[in-house]
Amino acid sequence: MINLASDNVVGASKQVLDALIAANSGAEAAYGSDHYTAEAEAMLADVFEHDVKVFLLATGTGANALALAALSPPWGAIFCHEESHVADDECGAPEMFTDGAKLIGLPGVNGKITADRLETAIGRYPKGVVKAVQPAAVSISQVTESGTLYSLEEIARIGEVARRHELGVHLDGARFANAVTALQCSPAEMTWKAGVDVVSFGATKNGCLACEAVVFFDPARAEHFGFRRKRSGHTVSKGRLLGAQMSAYLRNNHWLDNARHANAMAARLVQGLSGSTGVRLPWPSQANEVFAIMPKATAKILADAGVRAAPWYELSVSLPPHEKIGSDEVFWRFVTSFETKAEQIDEVIALAKV
Ligand SMILES: *Cc1c(COP(=O)(O)O)cnc(C)c1O
């Protein structure tokens, strides 16, 4: 079986798991006051070339929802892509943890919102008008849910609109490493230098077992976050187990190496699939996700051979307007990870070449 349904179908990398085992022995202070967590915090400050406030959590949904709660009052409006993870895949956690802020989903092809769209949307909710939710934040995903990337300029333009209207900017970086390696930029350039205030820095999908960081660049924004995390049940008592994962993940560029490998495997798949009859890729594959529209016959050959992918939304608003998935076709997402082998990709390609 070759499982490419997502990058969380694999376990932790050896480097992270070894660090967890090592951190298992001995006594350590609890609730994140341990030296592994302190080390991870210092490493993240280095990674971002900025003073940061860091909070480790076990889930990305927790990271996103609590980060948005730090940016928005209950009467706030949070702008996001209408098919974003925060809107579609978190069971209302952002709404719950903000105590009822309104997520405003914006359309946009390729999984991206634009600065212009954001500006127009903000205009619908006038400041100080009591009957309207008050624009408070914008959330973008990098890598997007369509496997595409915002360019640094696109992020900066969104950041500029946000700043002008006093919105906080959140970046859902569940695949942060894949994005930063693909863009060949620094983490600083992709975040605070482009106007991002808080990052959900994902690590689970790219080598950890269960570890994400919420990273703030302005300590004032982080002021109550410790209470939010505890109150929501996201403060891990043996906090060293998160700290050990994150510090091992960052050590010796392990996180970047993992992401580079995953991205290369996706590029290999794209290359191979482009030679398959009837297969088309509606979105540019810019990191470690490949979305393919394929004949049902091809999909059956893959499935029968044990290849797993994730069936995707056939009516996605992110698809180019002319794109229609035929009744004899499927729309699948393949995601590569740090563990994906070149031979596995080659096998998928060979099967798809019918
Ligand atoms: C996986 C993912 C998350 C985090 O999800 P959890 O399952 O809660 O860890 C957040 N955003 C995006 C875009 C994701 O793909």
Chain centroid, CA 257 distance in Å: 18
User: Do residue 167 and residue 291 come from a single domain?
Assistant: no
User: Do residue 184 and residue 302 come from a single domain?
Assistant: no
User: Do residue 231 and residue 186 come from a single domain?
Assistant: yes
Residue among 110, 255, 269, 74 nearest 173 (CA): 255
- d(C-alpha 24, C-alpha 351), whole Å: 43
User: Do residue 230 and residue 338 come from a single domain?
Assistant: no
Look at the chain and report how many structural domains it folds into: 2
User: Do residue 97 and residue 210 come from a single domain?
Assistant: yes
User: Do residue 258 and residue 245 come from a single domain?
Assistant: no
Among 253, 268, 291, residue at a domain's last position: 253
**One-letter amino acid of 122:** I
pTM summary value:
0.98
pLDDT for the residue numbered 296: 97
Among 219, 253, 287, residue at a domain's last position: 253
User: Do residue 348 and residue 293 come from a single domain?
Assistant: yes
Q: Give the CATH number, domain containing residue 39.
A: 3.40.640.10
Cα of 277 from ligand 1 centre, angstroms: 33
User: Do residue 148 and residue 248 come from a single domain?
Assistant: yes
pLDDT for the residue numbered 158: 98
User: Do residue 71 and residue 24 come from a single domain?
Assistant: yes
Q: Give the CATH number, domain containing residue 276.
A: 3.90.1150.10
**DSSP string for residues in 301-348:** HHHHTTEE-EE--TT-TTS-TT----TTEEEEEEE--TT--HHHHHHH
- Give just the sign of the alpha carbon dihedral 196, 200, 205, 211: positive
Stated length of the chain: 354
User: Do residue 248 and residue 146 come from a single domain?
Assistant: yes
Reduced to 3 states (helix: H, G, I; strand: E, B; else coil), residue 185 is coil
Cα of 8 from ligand 1 centre, angstroms: 9
Assess contact for 199 and 191: CB atoms under 8 A: yes
Cα of 86 from ligand 1 centre, angstroms: 8
pLDDT tens digits, the chain, 354 residues: what are they? 999 999 999 999 999 999 999 999 999 999 999 999 999 999 999 999 999 999 999 999 999 999 999 999 999 999 999 999 999 999 999 999 999 999 999 999 999 999 999 999 999 999 999 999 999 999 999 999 999 999 999 999 999 999 999 999 999 999 999 999 999 999 999 999 999 999 999 999 999 999 999 999 999 999 999 999 999 999 999 999 999 999 999 999 999 999 999 999 999 999 999 889 999 999 999 999 999 999 999 999 999 999 999 999 999 999 999 999 999 999 999 999 999 999 999 999 999 997
Among 218, 253, 288, residue at a domain's last position: 253
- Which residue has its alpha carbon closest to ligand 1 atom 1? 174
Mutate to test the pocket of ligand 1, among 61, 209, 242 (most ligand atoms within 8 A of CB): 61
Containing structural domain, residue 345: 2-6+254-352
